[in-house]
Amino acid sequence: MMIFQDTYKLQAWEYQVECLIAYKNALIQHMSGKVRELNWGNFAVCQHLKYVDLYSEPSDYQGIKIIR
């Protein structure tokens, strides 16, 4: 969860510098890769398919929000 929160925070205007943008993009690639590795047939995963599907693509991390 910490990686997701860091990515969320890096969306802020003050962090829009080249090195931090590259870091944020690397975090997004890592997270979307982990989501794609999930077993979609697993009972626990099936309960959250909406989010599994949403966050399996790096492009879907634009404008992310923290969901509680």
Q: Dump pLDDT digits (tens) for 3-57.
A: 888 998 999 999 999 999 999 999 999 999 999 999 999 999 999 999 899 889 9
Between CA 24 and CA 31 the distance in angstroms is 11
What pLDDT, on the 0 to 100 scale, is given for residue 68? Answer: 61
**pTM above threshold 0.85:** no
What pLDDT, on the 0 to 100 scale, is given for residue 67? Answer: 64
The residue with tokens 């995963």 is 45
Domain ranges of the chain: 2-61
Tell me the one-letter amino acid at 34. K
Q: Rg of the chain's alpha carbons, rounded to an integer?
A: 13
